[in-house]
A = this chain, B = another copy of it.
Amino acid sequence: MAGQKIQRQTGVALWRQIADRIRTSINHGDFDETGMVPPETTLALQFGVNRHTIRSSLAALAQEGIVRAVQGRGTLIERKERLSFPISRRTRFSQGIGDQVRETRSVLLAAGEEAATTELARQLKIKTGAPLVRLETLGQADHRPVSRATSWFPADRFGDIAEIYRTTGSITKAFKELGVPDYVRVVTEITATHADEGDLTDLQLSPGAIVLVAQALNADLDNVPVQYSISRFAADRVRFTVEN
């Protein structure tokens, strides 16, 4: 556990800061030898806070299913994971993390049609107001939610993509059926922010958590934009890897 001090009177409660730090340490493998978090009294000493504050932190982590406290023994680590998510010209959800998990799945949350806003039109190189298909999807790895994405497709070429996606569960396959045998990632923009209400429910996050936001543009092999998407990842579960 790095010796960074925690911040007081910042609008972020100590128990939350400490919970975030312990979660990071778990993901980093700091406690792999024992498979347990250090005793509450030890942590309280390390962080310079009261034991009750540590208990609040561990309670939050237990709520997330990351640790489990056993009276008399200690606090066991139940789960640790931070998926490495490659971002490259050939970025696809399932491919990159396929070797890190047993099963990846993509679920359609919602679908609909809407007119292109100025921003979406600029990205997809179409006219403002042109019809778009919007898909809301949830990416899962081993039945754990990892990302939630909103994607827009030009409706003239991909009017039926929602239905095809619903049956195949794959954007790549849907594209193939609609005459796009292959596509590439043109650009990805990455930002970070606090989790909103949708993130909390869809990604099963605890409030105050951080999400990584990736805005991506995909194009077919003729360099014509086919998909613009905004994906939100649980920051403590993934890591983006940019291979150049």
- A residues neighboring B (CB under 8 Å): 2, 4-5, 7, 9-13, 15-17, 19-20, 24, 60, 84, 87-89, 91, 184-194, 196-198, 200, 206-208, 210-212, 235, 239-244
Chain B nearest Cβ from A179, distance in angstroms: 22
Are A10 and B193 neighbours in the complex by a CB distance under 8 Å? no
Which 6 residue pairs are nearest across A and B when measured between Cβ atoms?
A: A10-B207, A11-B16, A192-B192, A11-B13, A89-B244, A12-B208
* Smallest CB gap from A7: residue in B: B207
Some 30 contacts from A to B, beta carbons below 8 A apart, are: A4-B196, A7-B207, A10-B207, A11-B12, A11-B13, A12-B16, A12-B207, A13-B13, A87-B244, A88-B244, A89-B244, A184-B244, A185-B242, A185-B244, A186-B243, A187-B243, A188-B242, A190-B190, A190-B212, A190-B239, A190-B241, A191-B212, A191-B235, A191-B239, A192-B192, A192-B211, A192-B212, A192-B235, A194-B210, A210-B210
Are A7 and B208 neighbours in the complex by a CB distance under 8 Å? yes
Chain B nearest Cβ from A117, distance in angstroms: 13
Are B189 and A240 neighbours in the complex by a CB distance under 8 Å? yes
* Smallest CB gap from A190: residue in B: B240
Are A7 and B197 neighbours in the complex by a CB distance under 8 Å? yes
Chain B nearest Cβ from A187, distance in angstroms: 5
B-side contacts of A239, CB under 8 Å: 189-191
Cα distance A211–B2 when bound, in Å? 16
Chain B nearest Cβ from A15, distance in angstroms: 6
B-side contacts of A190, CB under 8 Å: 190, 212, 239-242
